[in-house]
Structure 1
């Protein structure tokens, strides 16, 4: 059950100016994605005004709808799904029926973008491969997301975020040296892949402005994961060096790591010699160490990390975080409290950026919202709308976007295009049925 008292305490999201025109207004997207990477990418498009139609199986919908936490009043709209499907429309369509496929093709014929992340071969079995869709719509941007690419010896492999973390070398770089490497708790490879997808789609749209032609766009989870290993990959390729697990310390800068005050842990990152000097002279009041001819050089500090950490740990333990935080900020030393997720979401920093708000939901009244991090002054993001119930927009899409009449809708319904749901109702009514 959602904590409605906690949710209702969040500030209400402030809409953009009524005169603002979203950057992607008029862009039409057919969304065949599920789980995380694909839906996050299409949500980014929807946030800036694209008309994103999420096609999913009738009744159950995207499997990600059922990931925790799930409220019994909206059983197919768990927290995870609400996080990744804002501002979309849902069309409940049985893709295994000829009638359902006919509807999908009608949508594709008038779309600007198609995005899919099925297993390799699924779109071909539906006769919705790129070549077929390009004949329906030569201007179509067709974005495929896979684990290891759509061609080659690994095209058949399924991929999930932790597998990409493991196989890219990312896990081997994270954790402590005396134990196995650890995965990131957050789905960082999925999130990074979604950002790559959004960039790729926008690049293809810019190219289409020049020549009026669509194209196929491909993004692979594994490719993105390799990029996410950072400059360690180039260090290895140029020298053979294998990045080691360093816990919370840095192999490149010192002193960088987690330290503990009287009451709270925090992180310091001394990225260069000047930051080190400001830290020891202005914060720790140790000018002797700040200007030591040996320790004032980065490479020498790496060799003397244990000594510096001992000095810092002893000093920081004498006062609470409230004492050290303003000193570190005044000295312009990059630092921050190690917070829980809850502390971060409720922080003054998050509040000052308007990152966490609440938005209306037709069943719950209000649900939380995490703001899109992209800020555009002239063409801002649209006012956020909660992720839809399964098939919530089916009838509106059929009537208003495909311009089907009652006879055509009844034919499709009888042919099983919408699964076993025999009555189509508007969005609000579907939300009530779901509840």
Structure 2
């Protein structure tokens, strides 16, 4: 079955995480993705970001780190040195066949090679060209390097994450990169629709920091409305109580009381219906006002109960509740299996003959995602792809 993006060709000059997240998603949707990797550095930087690494059948380390694999399935790896005239000629020839070009060099970083958006769009006006950088193509910070950690710090999310009296805390995964990749995907799909309707390509200027600012959502807008700095809440919610983690006798549970009727049923489980009738706690605004006093009572009532008892008791009363899973517990659940969120992709050059990956969450009824190519070894598809395009494999100065 053809994917939604079947026939779309993506020339991927990006590396690390934001761009590769985008192009993996496009690949999952059916696009053909040509991942250009630099021979001088043995490919994408993340190939070396480990351990862990996948081993070959003899137990030797491969260039397939877990970090690289998380964002690079459904791609063909092509070794091209764009710093050489031959490599630049190869990229130009590939751009002539592509629908999309995506890159994450510093602003103007590709101009000296004639591979910048202005040069390629002049030659190929139907191209959709997406540039990802730390701070965007304009502004006083445009020339500063962009990394997920810097984006989380500059963009404000670290000031909101962590315990109230603790240090600012980054999110455990590269969430600014991942969300930037998602915005890149949306922008590319919108630009392709415009191109298909008008014949006109365009340049997409996307900044890691801009995308991070955009998902400050309610906390960011609350600051704009009040002019006051927002405070870290730890695992509590700024505007809903109780909505957080609680300690049980044998672990932690999440309880998310979203409205007053749920709160009344929660109090019924606690054996304290009076807490729902007390005007200090009966409404969410009152619970916000008396947060500390109420939470102390709730914590004492839950501390002696087991996770199983809490989850069963609240689920029976239709109060949102759940466990705090470790990754091992998560991937062992029936829910993950039912939704296809853990997959294995065959590779005969690795131990066990396959690599484990996280599945794509999109469930499309007519054009489902497909898993066609396992994350590639560096340069493994150079000869095949260039030959199919009528380019000599040795014309790219891959070394």
Q: Please say whether Structure 1 and Structure 2 have the same fold, judged by a TM-score greater than 0.5.
A: yes
Q: Partner of 1:358 in structure 2?
A: 344
What is the rounded CA distance, in whole Å, between the counterparts of 2:373 and 2:263 in structure 1? 46
Q: Deviations over 1:234-267 (max 9, x none)?
A: 1111211211011111221111222122211011
Cα distance change of structure 1 residues 265 and 296 upon mapping to structure 2, 3 Å threshold: same
Structure 1 unaligned spans of 5+:
1-19, 421-435
Q: CA RMSD in A?
A: 1.5
Pair 1:343-2:329 in alignment: yes
2, 5, 8: which one aligns with 1:27: 8
Partner of 1:77, secondary structure, is strand
TM-score (norm 2): 0.94
Question: Which digits, 9 at most, give the CA deviation of each residue in 1:379-409, with x for residues without a partner?
Answer: 0001342111111111111111x123xxx44
| 1:57-85 C-alpha deviation (Å, 9 max, x unpaired) | 12700111111122453532111001110
Secondary structure in structure 2 of the residue aligned to 1:289: helix
Q: Report the equivalent of 2:30.
A: 49
How far apart, CA to CA, are the structure 2 residues paired with 1:399 and 1:246?
56
Query: How far 1:188 sits from its partner (Å)?
Result: 0.9
2:395 is the counterpart of 1:419: no
List aligned pairs for 1:194-209, cutoff 5 A: 194-209=181-196
- The yes-or-no answer on 1:156 pairing with 2:138 is no
Within 2, Cα distance between the matches of 1:239 and 1:318? 40
SS at match of 1:84: coil
Contact kept in structure 1, 2:382 and 2:393, CA below 8 Å: no
**253, 272, 284: which is aligned to 2:270?**
284
Match of 2:279 in 1: 293
2:386 match:
398
Equivalent residue number for residue 220 of structure 1: 207
Counterpart of 1:189 in structure 2 is 176
Listed as ranges, the gaps of 5+ residues in structure 2 are none
Please list the CA deviations of residues 169-194 of structure 1 after superposition, one character each: whole Å capped at 9, or x if unmatched.
Answer: 11111112223211111111011101
Paired with 1:135 and 1:388, the residues of 2 have a C-alpha distance of 32
- Are 1:70 and 2:53 counterparts? yes
Cα drift, residue 209 of structure 1: 1.8
User: Mapping of 1:9-408 within 5 angstroms?
Assistant: 20-58=1-39, 60-68=42-50, 69-71=52-54, 73-281=60-268, 283-364=269-350, 365-400=353-388, 402-404=389-391, 408=392
Is the contact made by 1:46 and 1:87 (CA closer than 8 Å) also made in structure 2?
yes
Instruction: Determine the C-alpha separation between the residues in 2 that align with 1:86 and 1:372.
Output: 11
Q: How many positions carry a matched residue from both structures?
A: 391
Provide the residue aligned with 1:16 in structure 2: none
| Cα deviation digits, residues 184-217 of structure 1 (max 9, x gap) | 1111101110100000000001111221110001
- Tell me the secondary structure at the aligned position of residue 90 of structure 2: helix
Q: Distance in 1 between matches of 2:7 and 2:93?
A: 17
Structure 1 runs of 4+ aligned residues shifted over 6 Å read none
Task: Give the superposition deviation at 1:317.
Answer: 2.5
Note closer, same or farther for the CA distance 1:89–1:156 as it changes in structure 2 (3 Å cut). same
- Higher mean alpha-carbon deviation, 362-371 vs 344-353, is at 344-353
Q: Is the 8 A contact 1:82 1:387 kept in 2?
A: yes
- Secondary structure, in 3 states, of the residue corresponding to 1:75? strand
TM-score for the superposition, normalised by structure 1: 0.87
Please state whether the residue corresponding to 2:254 is helix, strand or coil.
strand
